[in-house]
Structure 1
């Protein structure tokens, strides 16, 4: 029975043959391209899929002109995908060539052709210069503040947003952005002060205006709040702290849980704090307080004191006998605790981790330890059985973010004294035996090597029969003590 161009099995005969009737079909576009707006140099894909029998071939037109793809020119940046979609690796727009335009997908076979709906590719543009840039504004707390911004020209027209201290501003019942891009802040608060940037965005990219400062008068505010710094022992560390306000606030420094070092700390230009020379004890949290008749504000920053690695435990030159244990150990202190390693001169690789072990140790006698930090790392390198190839110069190194240190030792592996040759103490004797009777031939050997000393191999006993070597077999067996047994 035929249905919808197909034959169906209606009987019970398992040998019945199916028949399929496939109709010839003119092309039909089933997936149409959609218009795109992309940035110059960005990839773009225009979708197109068609059905038909035979399967239709896909070609593309741009503004009515056939589009050349990599099938026509291997160097083309346009590719025709297997499903018929057009992929542009990097969109172009210059005096010689442009990918912008109106595109149409054309599907064809022997029964006709079909066109997709048209889709456009628009190459977005965005100039770099803002028409109007925001400027610094000073307002009294509780008043109204405005910042104007007109974005650069672009296609499509860019959208505007604002950043305050690097964070996107979300409009609310007190902060809004007008259609012309102006930022309006009602009833300005002290927390509104900071650095404002106008951001213009479209598919061609993002443009940021020069920053503008909003100063809220009366209460102190930070122009440059202190930030965490790090310094090396013996060097210097400076915490910057710049404030504004009316009347001008006074600035004081203190240390959380301790005192600012006397004689080595001073307030410098801009009311920052300079410590010089640094010691491990200077590490900690420092607070900058700005106060006037309106308010008091405080910010904190951490000083981290780094100590370059210093070798505190290093072995001298080492001499061991071949076959003995080789053990090297060194300890390096520093802040942060250094990475310590062993390496052999002549090899660019660090000695294997399976042989070298490291651990952090507390050095109670060191200046680093007195600062209350784990300041040392111990590295051990061990060879259970030293060979002559282990002789040479070894380097223990320690590194951290403040510097590095290395120390060198020489290892000499002495060869062991050669052993005398083995002696056959009990040689085999002649025997006369009946056929079928097992035979035992003894060969007892005495040697200083025994079962193996150092790198000297153990004695090995072998047998020959009429000049031919014997090995273990179903009839011949050589015991561990050298005795040969022969089955009857």
Structure 2
């Protein structure tokens, strides 16, 4: 096999240190990307250090590799595949992503994924094409093949190897052959030869024909720079070949105006730009210009170069030891181009956040609260981008904590208001309180594991504390920890407490007169039914101020029919919503029960010839918000509305029967309802004439 990318590793910060009383488990050498040859052996490195015994296993595409006659793990952790194969008929292959997993009694580590490919050289994607070129012109021949590993391209002329000593011949690594200042002796049959460790292939032959002398021609760029993406320290070649008569002068610049520089910069042939050992500063848009000598005639072509950088850690997670019930924070920051994506592993498996395990700040911070024995493990930070991967690890150990204070006891909570809770707890014994330097209260919304945990510290002489700025009618989970100079105690028993809730909002409701002695009341249900317990409906006749009826309904009911009422009377309707905190402000309405027979007769007759006479209903809606004065205005508007020249086209007699204190409709038409709604200090009045 041949290694294209040398295995790279970052020495562990703890490789030479005994952390937490034991040598940390760490990789000395991780497997790297390689290309294997069918039928030949393959070896992948995995060297580790740490407290033994250490078990080493290998995975292919996430599946453990069975060791035996074909695959063996050597004593130093190296994986040996004796006969690398790819069986087409069974779709089985040894190619894929390999990773090394190592484990001791403290936890498990997983190496970076190493990509193993099978060497191959498929058929040419494109062959050189025959062409005619004037004497002194430029010929460009190309062939394309995608090999693994990348094929080495050479050229032949008339079946003889082409000499690269001729300065007029420029051979680019991507398979392009440029011939500048073409001469008649350049005529012949050209073909390219592609070869790698898997195979050797020959392209079709192309005839180069050199024609007569050149005539004047404007500059033309035969091939300009292509967009290219490489990793740092690799080499970039930006092609630019131009022709014309006289021969154009090729120059390079950056679109952003910055200098290209000279270090690592080289010109191949007459105009190709080669950048060796590329850095991030080389990224940008490059402009190739072909100028005709002695004139301003110019042609340009642009190409973008993107230089990527694999992840490098700016901050590594540090191994820590914490007592049970305490908290631990691991930080991991990596740089790279493009920006790396961070994931966390716990003992070699993807870390899944939970109620006490949180990932924040774009996964750069891992916080573990209320540590339990299940949290004791090796945690890995994996940084990935399109240029590569990197990993760092740290261990969380649980200390015995015999010198730590006892967990607080007697934690209780009482609601003070809709936004505050008061917490109290028992004063510890004197021998315990001497080592305590303070307390920390932890509070979080119950049932919302993703909500932020609030923490407030209090002095060691304080045994009560008020949490404020909380949400109304919300239940919280609370616990307390005592701290000494050595660390925190285990947490107290968790308790649940709820803030007081406010009273519900006043419900909006509507009424519909059914007949002379019955009406129906509708009201809107709240968007959150849990905020209230029910509704209470009260009604009485205006002439009888004492309550005539009262009904209570659960929170899911929104309609009720009131019957057996006093015929043609005016009723006041009141609706309130209530919960354990009290009643909402009330909504009140005045409703007039029309005389059923007269209303029915009025609806069948034609009292006036209005524009809407052919329709079943004509309504006038007047809304006023003027406090008590609006009632008088409404009465005045109704009286004015009875005038014939206001609503009708022909004459009609109107009368004012003694209903609603003088308020009535056209002759034979009694208003079906007169409603008045009042909330707090504002009055809303609606007058509906049907």
Structure with larger RCO (C-alpha < 8 A, sep 6+) = 1
Q: Fold-level match, TM-score > 0.5?
A: no
- The TM-score normalised by the length of structure 1 is 0.33
- The TM-score normalised by the length of structure 2 is 0.24
